[in-house]
């Protein structure tokens, strides 16, 4: 028999259970079923559909995503593209997406269309468009035949572009096992990819371990000289070396002994890499909670503290950050379970 007393006891027990449930769920008051970063999403691309359109079969992996900014001087139209390099069961492909809506602008399977060269996951923006592998594409007309770049982007290398005048700086690190030294090789090319200058640099006099993970040229308003920034992994940690001009970049002085190289860091990087933007360095840190942190270049404290950060909730293991646009406006996130690529606005 149910009595009013038993009803009251059940009500009390239920309220206690609810209170305990509320107290034990710290994110209960803020969490919803949708990803926390959804308000930053600009557009979404279906990579499986892109792979099908490129003719590479079932998508296996997304290697690279880069943003190539370009405004056509002929008509003033923004013809920027989001470039993704896809690896499928039946081949690999370079796919260009329109930034607005992420519709597919071009899908080029490696080794089929232009017989002059090969696209690859080494992608870099250029003043005229972008380079993938050893092919340079014009953003003004993607249907135009790409131009062969002699040597292309060195595997594992990074191509840095300067637009005024148009010059390229190819950088990569390697280990010279005959003299047991790590080296950073920098080669300067003109707009036709003719070599102009080069430099070989070490981290210190001993040639200690270093690995160049990102490099970028940032124009400085009102000056012909911009900043070259290099994100370098070293034994003590990951640091950014900034050079005020080309001469400082091409010096042969070891990085740690170069008074013209401004060093920032080390930054906590984890295993997820980092990205150089005009607003700072971005890293992703997975711990009990997952955050994307923005660090300023000119921090002065002993330990870098993020100036801004964004928490990623949900099944974060399946989320992979592909890149941050150097301008600091966009970033790209790959949901590996649904094979969707999201273009997002930055939160700072």
Partner 1 sequence: MSMQTGRARSLILLAAAFLGAAAARVEAQAGGNTAAVVVARYPEAAASFAGTLVAAMIRELGDSGFSPASAYVGTLDASLPDSELAGAALAESKVRWAAVVRCSLDNRRVLWRLSVYDALDGALVASDARAAFAGLSALPLMDESATLVAQAAAALRSRTAPGAPIEYRIRFSSPDDGAAVAFGGGSSSRLIGTITEGGLVAPYAAFESAVPIVATASKDGYWPRAYAFEPGLADEPVTLPALMPRTRHSLSAGTAFGRLVGLAADYRYHIASDSVFLRAGDQAWFQVAAGGGSRATLHDELRLGLGAYLFLPRPSRFRIAAGSGLSGIASFVQSDAGPGGLYFDLSLDAVWISYEWHWPKMAVFIEQRSAYSFGIDAGLLRRGWWEAGHAPMLLTAGAMIKW
Q: Check binding of 53 to partner 1 (CB under 8 A).
A: no
- Toward partner 1, which CB reaches closer, 65 or 159? 65
Q: Please give the C-alpha separations between residue 271 and each of 35, 213, 319, in angstroms, as whole numbers.
A: 22, 12, 14
Q: What's the chain's length in residues?
A: 348
Distance CA(316)–CA(10), nearest Å, equals 39
- Toward partner 1, which CB reaches closer, 228 or 331? 331
Stretch (H or E) spanning 104: strand 104-109
- Toward partner 1, which CB reaches closer, 192 or 345? 345
What is the pattern of x (binds partner 1, CB under 8 A) and - over residues 73-102? Answer: --------------------------xxxx
Question: CB 217 → partner 1: shortest distance, Å?
Answer: 24
Binding segment toward partner 1, per CB under 8 A, in 21-29, 157-165, 208-216, 319-327: 21-29
Is the distance from CB of 28 to CB of 22 less than 8 angstroms? yes
Q: Please give the C-alpha separations between residue 168 and each of 17, 184, 229, 262, 303, in angstroms, as whole numbers.
A: 65, 16, 14, 22, 34
Interaction residues for partner 1, span 137-196 (CB under 8 A):
none
- Toward partner 1, which CB reaches closer, 51 or 215? 51
| 329 backbone dihedrals φ, ψ, rounded to 5° | -100, -35
Binding segment toward partner 1, per CB under 8 A, in 3-11, 175-183, 254-262, 274-282: 3-11
Distance CA(79)–CA(101), nearest Å, equals 13
Distance CA(129)–CA(172), nearest Å, equals 22
Q: Check binding of 40 to partner 1 (CB under 8 A).
A: yes
- Toward partner 1, which CB reaches closer, 26 or 115? 26
- Toward partner 1, which CB reaches closer, 5 or 302? 5
| Separation of CA 131 from chain center | 16
Q: Check binding of 11 to partner 1 (CB under 8 A).
A: yes
Q: Out of 55, 127, 268, 314, which residue is the one contacting partner 1 (CB under 8 A)?
A: 314
| Of residues 341, 330, 325, the one with CA closest to residue 44 | 341
Q: Out of 72, 206, 315, 317, which residue is the one contacting partner 1 (CB under 8 A)?
A: 315
Q: Check binding of 335 to partner 1 (CB under 8 A).
A: yes
Tokens of 87: 């690896």
Question: CB 139 → partner 1: shortest distance, Å?
Answer: 16
Pairing state between β 123-125 and 104-109: unpaired
Q: Check binding of 19 to partner 1 (CB under 8 A).
A: no
Q: Check binding of 115 to partner 1 (CB under 8 A).
A: no
Is the distance from CB of 216 to CB of 209 less than 8 angstroms? no
Q: Is 189 helix (H, G, I), strand (E, B) or coil?
A: strand
Distance CA(268)–CA(96), nearest Å, equals 32
Q: Check binding of 326 to partner 1 (CB under 8 A).
A: no
Distance CA(95)–CA(111), nearest Å, equals 14
- Toward partner 1, which CB reaches closer, 10 or 116? 10
Q: Check binding of 302 to partner 1 (CB under 8 A).
A: no
Q: Check binding of 37 to partner 1 (CB under 8 A).
A: yes
Q: Can you give the binding site for partner 1, defined by CB under 8 A?
A: 2, 7-8, 10-11, 14-15, 18, 22, 25-44, 46, 99-102, 308, 310, 313-315, 335, 337-338, 344-348
């Amino acid at each position: 028999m149910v009595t009013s007393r038993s009803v009251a006891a059940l009500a009390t027990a239920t309220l206690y259970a609810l209170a305990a449930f509320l107290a034990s769920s710290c994110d209960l008051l803020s969490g919803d079923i949708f990803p926390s970063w959804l308000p930053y999403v600009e557009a979404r691309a279906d990579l499986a559909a892109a792979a099908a359109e490129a003719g590479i079969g079932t998508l296996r992996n997304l290697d690279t995503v880069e943003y190539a900014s370009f405004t056509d001087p002929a008509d003033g139209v923004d013809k920027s593209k989001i470039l993704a390099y896809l690896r499928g069961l039946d081949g690999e492909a370079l796919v260009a997406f329109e930034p607005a809506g992420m519709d597919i602008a071009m899908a080029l399977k490696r080794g089929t269309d232009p017989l002059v060269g090969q696209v690859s996951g080494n992608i870099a923006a250029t003043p005229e468009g972008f380079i993938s592998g050893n092919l340079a594409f014009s953003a003004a007309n993607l249907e135009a035949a790409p131009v062969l770049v002699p040597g292309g982007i060195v595997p594992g290398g990074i191509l840095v572009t300067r637009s005024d005048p148009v010059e390229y700086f190819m950088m990569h690190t390697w280990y010279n096992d005959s003299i047991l030294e790590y080296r950073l090789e920098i080669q300067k090319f003109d707009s036709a990819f003719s070599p102009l200058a080069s430099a070989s640099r070490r981290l210190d006099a001993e040639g200690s371990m270093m690995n160049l993970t990102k490099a970028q040229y940032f124009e400085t308003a009102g000056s012909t000289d911009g900043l070259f920034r290099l994100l370098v992994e070293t034994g003590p940690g990951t640091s950014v070396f900034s050079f005020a001009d080309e001469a400082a970049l091409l010096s042969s002085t070891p990085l740690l002994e170069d008074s013209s190289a401004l060093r920032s860091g080390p930054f906590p990087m984890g295993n997820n890499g980092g990205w150089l933007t005009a607003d700072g360095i971005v890293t992703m840190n997975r711990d009990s909670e997952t955050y994307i942190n923005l660090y300023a270049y000119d921090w002065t404290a002993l330990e870098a503290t993020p100036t801004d950060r964004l928490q990623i909730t949900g099944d974060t293991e399946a989320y992979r950050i592909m890149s941050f646009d150097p301008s600091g406006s966009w970033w790209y996130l790959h949901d590996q379970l649904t094979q969707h690529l999201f273009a997002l606005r930055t939160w700072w």
